[in-house]
Each structure stands twice: as structure tokens, then as C-alpha cells.
Amino acid sequence: MREIGEEKMGGEAIEEGVLKGEFMEAEGGEAVRRREGSVEKEGEVPDSVVANGAGFGVEGFDDEDRWVTFKSLERAPESHHHYNEGHQEFSRIFHQRVRKEWMILNKSLPDGILVRVFEDRIDLLRVLMVGPEGTPYDHGLFLFDMSLPAEYPQQPPSVYFHSWTSGMGRLNPNLYEDGKILVSIQGLVLVRNPYFNEAGYERQVGTAEGAANSLLYNERTYLLNLKSISHVILRPPDNFADEVAFWFRDKEILKKVIQRAEEVLTRSEADGGEGVEGEEGQFPVRKVSVGGVRLLRGNLEQLRRANDRLNGLA
């Protein structure tokens, strides 16, 4: 498994759009919601269909203006990881290619992914991804900054993952705290049993040792995801503050996160804190260990503070 880190997203050049191929390939369902904003000069991007959000818990929005999967914005944020890197001027061919990619993204984004592009820096993209249901990443939001090289699409994008775990470890064997990323994200990284993403650990699939280790890893991932959720609510990333508020407050996702955490804590305290995986199709963490109970209590306090802040009570 090739480490790409902040280097190039490995494999083939991406021909069908920057979020296709190895990076975030759709796994079914319709594509995207209509777009707001404008794309200038090279042609107007047409309106597109609304995403059904299958598998990401994003279906059934009452206010689709609050959750727009693709937007072209005037200026890139200085907080973008690649803001101070790369070229400021690109060839006409590069401009034409990227604007064509924008049109593709506007019409065919995978479910549960929001993309922001920037007129003043067409080499940069910012991506917010919803954690898939039925995984320890459920209800979480994950931020990636992308940079297109001047040789794009012959050379693939660089991708940086923003970790919000405060130094407590990786959310996945392929997502590093310093932003390094391995392989694909949607289909191969944010999965139900991420323990087996670690190189060589796939040999433990179907063994008692692998099952036990996977339970502990899911517990850890779940607790880190809760910490990450608190962070993104209290410090929403540039370009996505409204979407974060809509997701966690208006869609009442944070209420569901807190309720689930309370249920996991209650079961864990009652049964001595020995981890048990949920059945297929259910959330994979039903109880946590004794050490996990202490961390879960702390995470619940943070989530409640975030809820108060989100609702203007603090």
C-alpha cells in the first residue's frame, strides 16, 4: 500500500472528475443537489438533481438551500492547507480542464460530499464528507483540502486531511493526524471495521484475534469521532459554517449523537464495560471498555457543551 501523505493521490490520472477514480468513488444512489453561486467565463453550470443521500443519513432535507453539494466561491480561504503552495497562474488549457471538472462535479458528486471551489484559486478545492452510516464514523463530518498540480490530469491532486482528535491518535490506519492519507477515502477508509485497513492486518479477518482487535479499534475510532464532532461544531471550518450548523442543529444530528452515546454509556456501565459489536446493519459499537467508559463520559460533556453553543445557550 503506497503512502501518499501530502503527495499525489496514487494510481491512475483522474479522468472523470477530481472526486472520481480512486478518490471518493460513488457507491450507488443519485448524484448531487443543485448548486448556488456562479462559474464564470467558460460557460454556465446547469442546475442538477437533488442527492438522495443513501447510506449517509443526508436524505429528506426540507431546505435544500442549506445543504448545497457544489459551490463556486469568489475567494479561497487562507486556512486551506495548500493556500501558500503551488502556482498562482495556470495555462489556458488548465483553466478549461478545471472548469470542465467543475461542471462534472456539479452534476455527479457522490452522496454525502460537499465541494467548494474558488474563482481566485482554481487549483484548490475544499471537501466536507459525511461519515457513512453503519460505521464508527457515522454522523461525523470530515474535511479534506485538495490542490491540483499544473500538470493535472496527467498528475493527480494532493490531498490533506484535517484531523481534529487533539493528538489522541488516528481515526483510521489510513488517516494520519498530520494530514497524510493512504489510498481511497469513501469506499476503503471510512468503513465498518477500519482495523483491517492496517497493512497486513487483513490476514486476521475471520479469526478470534482479529475480531477482538477490531472491537477495540472500533471503540477507539468511535470515541475519536465524538471528539472530532465536538471540534467541528465549536470551530467550524471556513466555507462550511452554515452547513455544520444545519447538519448538527437543524437536522438534529447532534441530538442523535448524544442519545446514542448515552445509550452506549448506560449499557457499558451496566454490563461491566466489555465491548460488543452491533449486528450487521446496526451501529458497530454497542458497549465500550472500562477505559472507554471514562473517555465516553468526557466526550459526552464536550458534546453537551457543543450543543449548548450550537443552540445559543452558552
Q: What is the DSSP letter of 286?
A: E
What's the pLDDT band for 110 if we cut at 50, 70, 90?
confident
Q: What is the DSSP letter of 44?
A: P
Tens digit of each residue's pLDDT (9 = 90 or more) over 124-163:
999 999 998 889 999 999 999 999 998 888 888 888 889 8
Q: Got the DSSP string for 193-211?
A: -GGGGSTTGGGGTTSHHHH
Pairwise pLDDT comparison (141 vs 87), residue with the higher score: 141
CA distance 255 to 257: 5
Helix (H, G, I), strand (E, B) or coil at 309: helix
Tens digit of each residue's pLDDT (9 = 90 or more) over 241-266:
999 999 999 999 999 999 999 999 99
Average pLDDT over residues 214-241: 94
pLDDT value at residue 120:
93
The pLDDT mean for the chain works out to 77
What's the pLDDT band for 122 if we cut at 50, 70, 90?
very high
pLDDT value at residue 24:
35
Average pLDDT over residues 91-96: 93
CA distance 181 to 137: 16
Instruction: Tell me if the pTM is above 0.75.
Output: yes
Average pLDDT over residues 80-99: 88
Of 33-37, 132-136, 290-294, the one with minimum mean pLDDT is: 33-37
Pairwise pLDDT comparison (55 vs 78), residue with the higher score: 78
pLDDT value at residue 172:
67
Q: Are 70 and 32 in contact (CB under 8 A)?
A: yes
Q: Report the percentage of the chain scoring pLDDT > 70.
A: 68
List, in order, residues 6 or more apart from 236 with CB less than 8 Å away. 244, 245
pLDDT value at residue 155:
87
Angle at alpha carbon of residue 243, lines to 237 and 247, rounded to 5°? 115
pLDDT value at residue 4:
32
Q: Is the pLDDT confidence value at 39 over 90? A: no
Domain spans of the chain, in order of start: 208-310
List, in order, residues 6 or more apart from 80 with CB less than 8 Å away. 121, 124, 126, 145, 238
Q: Got the DSSP string for 137-191?
A: TTT-EEEEEEE--TTTTTSPPEEEE---STTS--SBTTB-TTS-BBS-STTTTS-
